[in-house]
Chain A
Amino acid sequence: MKHLDERISDLVDDRLDHDERDRALAHLTSCDHCRQQVELERYAKAALRSLPEVAPSDKLVASLLALAEPGGPLPPDRPSFPVSAAPVAGWRTRTDRPAGIPGTTRPERSSRVSRRPARVVRYAAAGALSAGAIAVLLASLGGPTSSIQPPPATVSVVPPVDQFTVEHARSTGNLPFAEPASLLVPASPPPLGGGR
Chain B
Amino acid sequence: MNNLTKSVIDLLARLRDWIDARFPLMKTWNEHLAKYYAPKNFNVWYVFGALALLVLVIQILTGIWLTMNYKPSANDAFASVEYIMRDVDWGWWMRYMHSTGASAFFVVIYLHMFRALLYGSYKRPRELLWLSGLAIYLILMGEAFFGYLLPWGQMSYWGAQVIISLFGALPVIGDDLSLWMRGDFVVSDVTLNRFFALHVIAFPLLICGLVGLHIIALHEVGSNNPDGVEIKLHKNADGVPLDGIPFHPYYTVKDIFAAIIFLIIFSVVVFFRRRWAVIFWNTPILSPPTH
Report if A and B associate in a common complex. Answer: no
Question: A-contacting residues of B (Cβ < 8 Å)?
Answer: none
Question: B-contacting residues of A (Cβ < 8 Å)?
Answer: none
